[in-house]
Amino acid sequence: MSLIVVGSMAFDAIETPFGKSDKIIGGAATYIAWSASNFTSPIKQLSVVGGDFPKNELRLLEERGVILEGVQIKENEKSFFWSGRYHMDMNTRDTLETHLNVLGTFDPVVPESYQDCEFLMLGNLAPAVQLSVIAQLRERPKLIVMDTMNFWMEIALEELKKVIAEVDVLLVNDSEARELTHEFSLVRAARKIMDMGPKYLIIKKGEHGALLFHDDNVFFAPALPLEDVFDPTGAGDTFAGGFIGHIARTKDISYENMKTAIIFGSAMASFCVEKFGTERLRELTKEDIDQRIIQFQDLVNFDIELV
C-alpha cells in the first residue's frame, strides 16, 4: 500500500526583499516528496518534466524512496516555470510569470504499479489532471487530500469545483478560501467549502499558522516564530508533505490524528522557509524534526485554571 503524490515539478525564480534566486528546482510535487519522504516510503510520484530538468534531481528523489515510474520526461520540451516576488511581510506574494510548458499538455498515466494507492496527495496543478488521476484509480484511496491555488480558481473554476467535490481534505491558504467563497470570515468560508464536498478543510495562514476544520470543530496549529525567513516558496507544499506523510505512516485518518498531522506539517514548513527553495529540506535529519516537534509542543503547552 502506498502514497501517490501528484503535482508540478518545476523551475522557480524567486525574489524576496532580501535576495533573489536564479532558476532553482521547485514545484509542488517536488516539495511534497522531499517533505513526506521523512515519514513514509515508497512515494509514487506522478508528474511531468522537460528535457531541461536535471537528471540528478530525479536521482536524488529516488534515493529518498520516491518512485518515478509515473513521471513523464518530455525530452524536447521545457519544464514548468514559475516566478514570484514576495512583499515586505514575506507572507504575501505576486506571481510574476507562469509558463506551463510541459504542464499545459500533461496527460497523466497512472502506472499499473500505482494501483495499490492507499493515500492520494493531489498537489497543485491543473484540476483536469487531478480529476483524471482520481478517475484512473480502480479503487478509491482511503484518503484523498488536495492542494490548489488562486491561479486555477481564475482559469479553471468549474473543473476545480469538480475535483473539490471528490476529495476528503482540501488545503488552501486564507486568501484562496476567501476568493473561492466570496466570504471574508474564514469560519463562514470553511462552512461553504465543506458544503462543496470535503469533510475536512485546512486553511493555511503563513506565519500565522493553520486551521483545521471538520463539522463544527476547529483546531489551530501555530507557525514557529523564526528569526529569519529567507523564502516561503513551497512552504504550503512542504506542509502538505508533512501532513500526508504522517497520515500515511500512521494509517490513521481520524480527526484526532489529523490534528497531529497539521503539527507535523507546520514543523516541516518551518524548515522550508529557512533557506531558498528545497535547500533546507535536503539536509534535514530525524533529530532535527524531533527537536522541532518538541519546540512546537513547548510553544502551545500551557496550564490554565478556570476562574
- Residues found near ligand AMP in the complex (CB under 6 A): 8, 10, 12, 26-28, 82, 98, 124-125, 149, 151, 233-237
CA 31 to CA 48: how far, in whole Å?
A: 15
Q: How far is the CB of 283 from ligand AMP (least distance, A)?
A: 18
Q: How far is the CB of 256 from ligand AMP (least distance, A)?
A: 26
Q: Measured in whole angstroms, how far is the alpha carbon of residue 290 from the centre of its chain?
A: 21
- Closer to ligand AMP at the Cβ: 99 or 249? 99
Q: How far is the CB of 144 from ligand AMP (least distance, A)?
A: 18
Q: How far is the CB of 79 from ligand AMP (least distance, A)?
A: 9
Name residues whose C-beta falls within 8 Å of residue 115's C-beta, 6 or more positions apart in sequence: 137, 138, 139
- Closer to ligand AMP at the Cβ: 40 or 238? 238
Q: How far is the CB of 52 from ligand AMP (least distance, A)?
A: 14
Q: Residue 200: beta bridge partners?
A: 169, 214
- Closer to ligand AMP at the Cβ: 26 or 70? 26
C-alpha cell at 67: 518512485
CA 116 to CA 132: how far, in whole Å?
A: 17
- Closer to ligand AMP at the Cβ: 8 or 38? 8
- Closer to ligand AMP at the Cβ: 200 or 239? 239
For residue 91, the 8-state DSSP code is: S
Phi, psi of 106, deg, nearest 5: -65, 125
- Closer to ligand AMP at the Cβ: 83 or 181? 83
CA 285 to CA 162: how far, in whole Å?
A: 39
Name residues whose C-beta falls within 8 Å of residue 138's C-beta, 6 or more positions apart in sequence: 115
Q: How far is the CB of 125 from ligand AMP (least distance, A)?
A: 5
Q: How far is the CB of 299 from ligand AMP (least distance, A)?
A: 22
Which of 179, 245, 250, 171 minimizes the C-alpha distance to 211?
171
- Closer to ligand AMP at the Cβ: 67 or 172? 172
Contact in structure between 151 and 95 (CB atoms under 8 Å): yes
CA 6 to CA 120: how far, in whole Å?
A: 8
C-alpha cell at 281: 529540506
C-alpha cell at 100: 506551463
